[in-house]
Structure 1
Amino acid sequence: MSFDYQKICAALYREARLLDDRQWDEWLACYADDVTYWMPAWDDDDQLTDDHESQISLMYYPDKGGLEDRVFRIKTERSGASTPEPRTSHNVTNVEVLAERAEEVDVRYNFHTLSHRYRVNDQYFGTMFVTLRKAGDDLLIAYKKIVLKNDYIRQVLDVYHV
């Protein structure tokens, strides 16, 4: 069974919009309970790390519980790095289907996020590798690998930056 390209794009756009609108509970609902959310780091040889257990990652959550914890901290202002919350604009482009299976589809796309906080604008950009899984009429994110291509980051990254 083939996946509908417009439905794939709609799921990706919705997740980005929910981050921009700070609709945290709705954003969490975009993710499967067993999601892996991973942002590897670049090593000294300009290669991405490929093992979250033995190498540095910029972010790693092995399941939705880690994302729920981040959202809890953001919502309860227990995250100094998130207070005040930045204003963001997430842009999703170049959506490409890489592989399809019965219940899942692997997608690659580019992202560009503008973030405004304390009178300063920052930009984050890179490539996402996402697996979307059918859940009734919805598509949930079951895997997300974020390849951040910025050379320099002047602050701690959080889920709303990418």
Structure 2
Amino acid sequence: MNITRQAIEDFLYLEAELLDEWKLEEWAALFSAKGTYLIPPIGNPNADSAKSLYLVNDDRARLEQRALRLLKKEAHVEYPHSSTLRNYNNIRIKDQDENSISVKCNFTTYRSKRADLDSFIGVLEFKLVIENGELKIEEKKVVLKLESLRPQGKVSLIL
């Protein structure tokens, strides 16, 4: 697979922009047919998902459902939508073969809601593939670098 670093960075920045603009259906479309969105337990990024409780462990169908649900008024925790700002930095290609590219980057997501400002920090691990001639996310793993979640002890938005 021959994808430039610039193309990878542009793709990841697009992903962040779609999330900040609450274009969640477009965000879900960035995933491959086998795409997954994962948030392992805090402090245990390599936990076995069959034996540990992940904060999020979505396959493609579930992440599409999550995106659609968060856009509805019935999703009270995120309606009206939080204002978010994501920063991706230190983007680096970790591994590459003819079928996939592994990319890691640091992230900060700021969320403003009802006069509160929450910060989520950590590392994003992506596995990118080409599907139907387009760059797609086969896996997005969010490794939170927090001691705990506050204020509610849950993640109510897509990181």
The Cα offsets for residues 68-115 of structure 1, whole Å up to 9 and x where unpaired, read as 111121122232222221000011000110111113100010000110
Partners of 2:157 and 2:62 in 1: CA distance: 11
Quick check: 1:113–1:125 contact (8 Å CA) kept in 2?
A: yes
Residue in structure 2 matched with residue 59 of structure 1 by the alignment? 56
Q: CA RMSD in A?
A: 1.5
What amino acid is the match of 1:152?
S
> Residues 158 and 32 from structure 1, CA distance in 2 versus in 1: closer, same or farther, beyond 3 angstroms?
farther
Tell me if the contact between 1:49 and 1:55 (Cα under 8 Å) persists in the aligned partners.
no
Partner of 1:30: 30
Contact residue 72 and residue 79 of structure 2 kept, 8 A: no
Please report how far the alpha carbon of residue 150 of structure 1 lies from its aligned counterpart in structure 2 after TM superposition.
1.5
TM-score (ref. length: structure 2) = 0.91
Greater displacement, 71-80 / 94-103:
71-80
Amino acid at match of 1:4: T
Aligned to 1:111: 107
Name the structure 1 match of 2:87: 91
Aligned to 2:135: 139
Give the CA deviation at 1:49: 5.0
Identity %: 27
Structure 2 gaps, min length 5: none
Contact 1:97 1:108 survives alignment (8 Å) = yes
Q: Are residues 1:101 and 2:97 paired?
A: yes
**Number of aligned residues:** 157
Distance 1:65 1:110, change over 3 A: same
| Worse overlay, 48-57 or 86-95 | 48-57
Note if contact 2:36-2:63 (Cα within 8 Å) is conserved in structure 1: no
Runs of at least 4 residues off by over 3 Å = 46-49
**Structure 1 unmatched ranges of 5 or more:** none
Which residue of structure 2 lines up, in the alignment, with residue 6 of structure 1? Answer: 6
Contact 2:84-2:111 within 8 A present in 1 as well? yes
Q: Tell me the TM-score normalized by structure 1.
A: 0.90
